[in-house]
Amino acid sequence: MDATLSRALTWLAPEAASLQGMRRGLEKESLRVSPDGRLALTPHVPGLGSALTHPWITTDYSEALVELITPATHSIAETLGFLDDIHRHVYAQIGDEQLWVNSMPCLLGEDSDIPLAQYGSSNTGRMKTLYRRGLGVRYGRRMQTIAGIHYNLSFPDSFFQRWQAQEGDNRSLQDFRSDKYFGLVRNFQRQSWLLLYLLGASPAVCASFLRGREHRLQASGDGTLFLPGATSLRMSSLGYQNSAQAELRVSYNGLDEYVRDLTHAIRTPYPPFEALGLRDAQGEYQQINTSVLQIENEYYGLVRPKRTTARGERPTLALSRRGVEYVELRCVDLNPFEPIGIDSTSAHFLEVFALHCLLRSAPPFADSEYRCLPKNQQEVVERGRDPDLVLHFCGREEGFRDLARELMAELAEVAPLLDAAHGSTEYSAAIVRESAKLDDAELTYSARILRELREGGLSFFQFARQSAAEQARHFRSRPLPPAQAAEFAAQANASLEEQAALERADALPFDDYLAAYFRD
């Protein structure tokens, strides 16, 4: 076992109660589709409130890509229950439309037919839509139809204070906490290959998604493209990709370096994006800028250090001013076998995994790691269930399953800390359940999906459409109680009023707003 982890387990065992203040929240994306499984072209429904200001229901890249957001809670059960409630409210508002339950999208038409998310006429809303237009110009709008789950997780200050005292560290709590979170981020990237195997649920895709693109997938003859050993094509080079980022190096060795590198990318022109033009033929903005990144969120990664921002505050400024508040774990596919897209076992496992990443030694990234880690990610998402898969760690090779079992053994040592903190056995049980997937790859979500296609004689589209219809029936058969439905309706109305107030108060010309946003 890692020596740093061993020491942490020793001092933390009697202090496990300090973890009781952990908070978690979910951001779950789902495409709205018509009953025939095609992308919905309808606008965001007023009954869902304002996509700009509603705290729980918004849209992501496309107008059809609904994003459901839970508040930060103190228990997994509360988080999953709230996500279930949001689904029930959404289904009461979207008529006969359904939510697609797979990460990879439904049948897609022309790129230009995919609607951009709209956020109203305020400067904040216009910038959000412009950012999405820029993504479409740079990478195509199909990339804006991929869905996933982001698992947001924080550990309490009481825990960090005890840890800081244990180490005799004299820095401010903010600096100590940020430094430890960046260690988590580095280790998460080093070990995320295990999550891609266990939680990956996108081994196949509709051919329409890759129309006109080169790929190495196999065709089944029914409009389905797949790879036999694939786990998460969403996280492969076929998913959301940024050609400019292949040359972009963002340091995860500390907060200052991370902010420096992202800021540099936002301010550095990129010739291919300059060639596209800042404005279109009609003189309208089609990108926020022509830099490597328009804004920080364009930098796509498996995990992000995060800080809640004030309205109009750039994420890097928030991090610089107040430090890391939580981490966003971004490599979780939608689980089509669960109505809300994630189950309790996966949630408990993710929290053990994150705590393990936080507690073990986290040496700074060497230059070689920035090159080899993405290669391992690509290997696992394309061939994760290949029993002979080997991972490469900058000069050494290790068998995937042997390495996975070693990591699972360490996770099994960490899980009792969270069980003790939360008066539960679910964390240890999650390790046992997920470990079974190492002995039998057919238990993974990716294998189950391909088995459903094979044994049912289904295309990916048929399987996904049937799954969406089943989950729609599940939620529509369980409407919210009247009092709770009224609360959701009141929140939707309040968000619409807040958006209208922003639009009335906005007097700054949009050009000046953009300039001010990037001034600091």
Closest CA to 323 of 516, 121, 182: 182
Q: Which of 353, 278, 336 is nearest to 462 (CA)?
A: 336
Q: Domain limits of the chain?
A: 11-224+244-517
pLDDT digit string (tens) for the chain, length 520 residues: 899 999 999 999 999 999 999 999 999 999 999 999 999 999 999 999 999 999 999 999 999 999 999 999 999 999 999 999 999 999 999 999 999 999 999 888 888 899 999 999 999 999 999 999 999 999 999 888 999 999 999 999 999 999 999 999 999 999 999 999 999 999 999 999 999 999 999 999 999 898 888 888 999 988 999 999 999 999 988 775 556 676 788 999 999 999 999 999 999 999 999 999 999 999 999 999 999 999 999 998 899 999 999 988 999 999 999 999 999 999 999 999 999 999 999 999 999 999 999 999 999 999 888 888 888 999 999 999 999 999 988 778 899 999 999 999 999 999 999 999 999 999 999 999 999 999 999 999 999 999 999 999 999 999 999 999 999 999 999 999 999 999 999 999 999 999 999 999 999 999 999 999 998 7
Rounded to whole angstroms, the Cα distance separating 102 from 202 reads 7
pLDDT at residue number 506? 93
Could you give the angle at which helices 426-439 and 344-359 cross, rounded to 10 degrees?
90
d(CA 290, CA 275): 9
Correct CATH for 11-224+244-517 of 1.10.1740.10, 3.90.1300.10, 3.30.590.20, 3.40.50.300: 3.30.590.20
C-alpha to C-alpha distance for 335 and 80, rounded to whole angstroms: 14
Q: Hey, is 21 helix, strand or coil?
A: coil
Tokens of 186: 């580095």
Q: Nearest-CA neighbor of 291 among 91, 514, 101, 120?
A: 514
pLDDT, one tens digit per residue, over 326-348 is 999 999 999 999 999 999 999 99
Model-wide pTM > 0.85: yes
pLDDT in tens, 294-304: 999 999 889 99
- Whose tokens are 């936002």? That residue is 266
